[in-house]
């Protein structure tokens, strides 16, 4: 089970619109929240920031193909000579209060949605069949999930019946001024060189007809900026943090290198 339980410190986050106020309003009123947006655009950082701001423990689950309802709720495990019940991250969050964040929830198995439904309406209950419990979520509990709409397909798709149980925020890449500030603050790179990275990202995101599933994420820009700030040559940093992560196709790699050279030339 890939779960991280943490009480995070406040991390740098630059609001783009009213997402912080909406998060706080949803939490205050017991509403579940769904974050939608491309990989690396700041969804997880936003949740970490808001958990720290709220002073709430954060239970993060990285969803994957094999993640089942039992992984979230818990199971009986052998400890020494006895069998004991061990709560999963969702159950711990409900018992103790706090935020349970299901990252890329669309990747989880279908039985997960069945478990979430009673927590995403006015019941706010978690049914633990194996122990015979029905847990009422405290006011401090909040369910947050995220997914990337661009990767949805027939087999991996969030059903409307599940989507419509959440208040939703659509995330995209920040405007250039905001993204430059984020990259500079995270990587410790000067604003001029951070702005050049953001300009490069803008050009890549506008490319069409190339074998790129997605454009450059803000996360990759921070990686590139970090390498540059630590003394790596710009060409090498861009190759390692942008070109190679985006594609395996030699022609596309060369096109990205040519584009980078034109921006930094």
Q: Residue 10's pLDDT is what?
A: 66
Q: Residue 13's pLDDT is what?
A: 87
Instruction: For 185, list phi and psi in degrees, rounded to 5.
Output: -70, -40
Distance between CA atoms of residues 259 and 252, nearest Å: 10
Q: Residue 154's pLDDT is what?
A: 47
Instruction: For 159, list phi and psi in degrees, rounded to 5.
Output: -65, 145
Other CB atoms within 10 Å distance of the CB of residue 148: 20
Q: Residue 80's pLDDT is what?
A: 83
Q: What is the pLDDT along the chain (265 residues), one digit of tens a residue?
A: 555 555 556 678 888 889 999 999 999 999 999 999 988 899 999 999 999 999 999 999 999 999 999 999 999 998 888 999 999 999 999 999 999 999 999 999 989 999 999 999 999 999 999 999 999 999 999 999 999 887 655 457 788 888 999 999 999 989 999 999 999 999 999 999 999 999 999 999 888 556 777 889 999 999 999 999 999 999 999 999 999 999 999 999 999 999 999 987 6
Q: Residue 155's pLDDT is what?
A: 55
Q: Residue 14's pLDDT is what?
A: 86
Q: Residue 5's pLDDT is what?
A: 55
Helix axes 191-206, 176-187, angle to 10 degrees: 130
Q: Residue 159's pLDDT is what?
A: 84
Q: Residue 263's pLDDT is what?
A: 87
* Fold entry, domain 3-170: Rossmann fold (3.40.50)
Instruction: Tally helices (H) and strands (E) across the chain.
Output: 12, 10
Q: Residue 265's pLDDT is what?
A: 64
Identify whether the C-beta of residue 37 lies closer than 8 Å to the C-beta of residue 43: yes
Other CB atoms within 10 Å distance of the CB of residue 243: 22
């Amino acid at each position: 089970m890939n779960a991280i339980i943490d009480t995070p410190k406040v991390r740098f986050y630059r609001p783009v619109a009213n997402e912080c106020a909406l998060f706080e309003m949803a939490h205050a009123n017991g509403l579940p929240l769904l974050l939608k947006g491309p990989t690396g655009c700041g969804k997880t950082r936003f949740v970490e920031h808001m958990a720290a701001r709220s002073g709430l423990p954060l239970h993060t689950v990285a969803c994957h193909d094999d993640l089942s309802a039992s992984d979230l709720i818990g199971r009986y495990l052998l400890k020494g000579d006895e069998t004991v019940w061990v709560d999963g991250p969702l159950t711990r969050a409900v018992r103790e209060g706090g935020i349970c964040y299901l990252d890329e929830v669309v990747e989880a198995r279908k039985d997960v949605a069945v478990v979430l439904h009673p927590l995403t309406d006015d019941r706010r209950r978690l049914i633990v069949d194996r122990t015979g419990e029905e847990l009422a979520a405290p006011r401090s509990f909040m369910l947050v999930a995220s997914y990337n709409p661009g990767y949805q397909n027939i087999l991996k798709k969030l059903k409307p019946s599940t989507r419509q149980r959440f208040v939703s925020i659509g995330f995209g890449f920040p405007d250039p001024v905001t993204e430059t500030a984020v990259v500079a603050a995270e990587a410790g790179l000067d604003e001029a060189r951070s702005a050049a990275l953001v300009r490069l990202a803008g050009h890549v995101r506008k490319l069409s007809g190339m074998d790129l599933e997605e454009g450059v994420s803000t996360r990759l820009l921070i990686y590139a900026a970090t390498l540059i700030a630590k003394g790596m040559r710009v060409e090498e940093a861009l190759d390692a943090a942008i070109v190679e992560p985006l594609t395996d196709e030699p022609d596309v790699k060369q096109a990205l290198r040519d584009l980078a050279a034109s921006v930094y030339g």
